[in-house]
Amino acid sequence: MIVVLTGDRNAGKTTVVAKTVAELRASGISVAGFYAPDSDEGKDLVAASTGDRIPFARRGEPGPAEVGVGRFAISREALETGIEWAAQPSDVLVADEIGRLERDGGGFAPVIENCKRDPDRGILLSVRREVVPDVLADVPAETPSRRFVVTDGNRDCLPQELTALLVDDVKQG
């Protein structure tokens, strides 16, 4: 099953992902991949499996080891690390902050392509609204998918709902 979270900027998508990861791990479900919470400098990349953190994005113009996306300079090294984290075996794959870079074939695009062909594990994606159709394109018709829009009204209860959905999917798989 592919679960897609979307919503307005600062709606709490990454917070929902982080809480869902914590609940999945507490439930004994193995997770791989990453999420990208805000940090003092911009955003960190956090390994869903271990909680390890590395700098991911900073506000400003990109340097030679970075790629520019909107107002952020994204670390190429962090992108490679995120792809490695997502390749780890797990019950559930998590990928946060999927947006224009991936739509254009960069960034975490290999993770998205691999998850479309990975029916053996649950998948939780946080995706910018404008790229959801691109992310869900080419998903095999037999692959179940659910989309949730994160809002102020549901972001506190979504982690429990998503955890239950993904745990059920893993147990049925």
Strands 145-150 and 2-7: parallel
Mean pLDDT, the chain, integer? 92
Cα distance between residue 71 and residue 119, in whole Å: 35
The CATH fold assigned to 2-52+81-172 is: Rossmann fold (3.40.50)
Please tell me the predicted confidence (pLDDT) of residue 97. Answer: 87
pTM score, whole prediction: 0.93
SS3 call for 10: coil
Dihedrals phi, psi of 93, to nearest 5 degrees? -100, 135
Q: What is the DSSP string of 52-104?
A: -EEEEEEES---TTEEEETTEEEEHHHHHHHHHHHTS--SEEEEEEE-HHHHT
69-121, pLDDT tens digit by residue? 888 999 999 999 999 999 999 999 999 989 888 988 889 999 988 877 777 78
Ramachandran region, residue 170 (left: φ > 0; alpha: ψ -120 to 50; beta: rest): alpha
Please tell me the predicted confidence (pLDDT) of residue 147. Answer: 94
Beta bridge partners of 34: 47, 95
Please tell me the predicted confidence (pLDDT) of residue 100. Answer: 85
- Which whole number is the average pLDDT over 12-17? 96
